[in-house]
Amino acid sequence: MSDDLRAAVAAGVLGAEEGYRALLRSIVEVARAIFKAKASSIFLLDEDADELVFEAVAGEGSETLIGQRFPSSTGIAGFVLVSRQPLVIEDVLADPRFSRETAESTGFVPKGLMAVPLLYEERALGVLEVLDRPRDAKFTLAEMELLGLFANQAAIALDLLQRARRAQAALAGEGELDVLARVAAALERRREEGEPDSALRLLVELEKLL
């Protein structure tokens, strides 16, 4: 197995992960702008650690929160993850599900929020939150539908990000050359069949082999 081929496959995986992270950043930035909110964030569920992780943030906390974690059952985000139901709360301090301690640890305590679970193929992957939209704007059904559209896109991006990370972990582990050899063979078969050798195809093939 040549060094060039190994580098090409690894670069494809790493590039795919960064692309999906950029997509998540775009989703929270657009959601924040559309709802005129102070902040928006996407949490990824780390199933192994049973924690929610800040994966993308726009607005308040965008410089410091990425990578911070808290137990998956904590606060309103935890409730939305478990219940798989969206929530709109105008006064979070009056809601018993709100974890002020967790909010204070982030440096931003919101007054109100919208939260929606990120579901993909029956799996709860995380939560999308929009914090402190204008309080004089009455929440509408159309806004909930719009938030659902953001959630659908975020769930797809999270699933692809997880695929990329699993592939990266496989390449970094033992038996790297054997994995790469089988991936190369699988991609060559796809090419001969007339299918494009896209980053997503690479991730799918890697996942099949693991």
Look at residue 131 and tell me whether its pLDDT is greater than 80: yes
Question: HSE of 106 in the Cβ direction (CA atoms, 13 Å)?
Answer: 24
Give one DSSP letter per residue of 136-172, joined into a string: TSPP-HHHHHHHHHHHHHHHHHHHHHHHHHHHHHHHH
Position 179 confidence tier, pLDDT thresholds 50, 70, 90: low
Neighbouring CB atoms inside 10 A of 52's CB total 25
Identify the H or E element spanning 129: strand 123-131
Quote the pLDDT of residue 157: 85
Give Cα separations from 77 to 15, 36, 51, 72, 202 (angstroms).
29, 20, 11, 8, 33
Side chain identity, residue 82: V
Mean pLDDT of the chain: 79
Task: Answer whether residue 4 shows pLDDT above 60.
Answer: no
CA dist., res. 159 & res. 136, Å (int): 36
Residue 203 DSSP SS3: helix
pLDDT of 46 over the 90 cut:
yes
- 18 vs 59: which has the higher pLDDT: 59
Calpha distance 153→84 (Å, rounded): 16
Domains of the chain, each with CATH number or no CATH: 3-169 (3.30.450.40)
Mean pLDDT, range 49-55, rounded to an integer: 95
CB 147 within 8 A of CB 28: no
Question: How high is the pLDDT of residue 113?
Answer: 92
Averaged pLDDT, 116-124: 92
For 148-178, how does the pLDDT look when each residue is reduced to its tens digit (9 = 90+)?
888 998 998 888 888 777 766 666 654 555 5
pLDDT at 71: 94
Asked if 174 and 20 touch (Cβ cutoff 8 Å), the reply is no
For 55-110, the pLDDT digits (tens) are 999 998 887 899 999 999 999 999 999 999 999 998 999 999 999 999 998 888 99
Output the pLDDT for position 174: 47
Contact 171, 209 (CB under 8 A): no
Confidence class of residue 210 from pLDDT cuts 50, 70 and 90? Answer: very low
Residue 207 has pLDDT above 80, yes or no: no
87-115 b/e (C-beta count within 10 Å ≥ 16 → b): bebeebeeeeebbeebbeebebbbebbbb
Distance CA 79, CA 22 (A): 27
Q: What is the pTM of this model?
A: 0.74
Give the CB-side neighbour count of residue 121, counting CA atoms within 13 A.
5
Proportion of the chain above pLDDT 70, given as a percent: 70
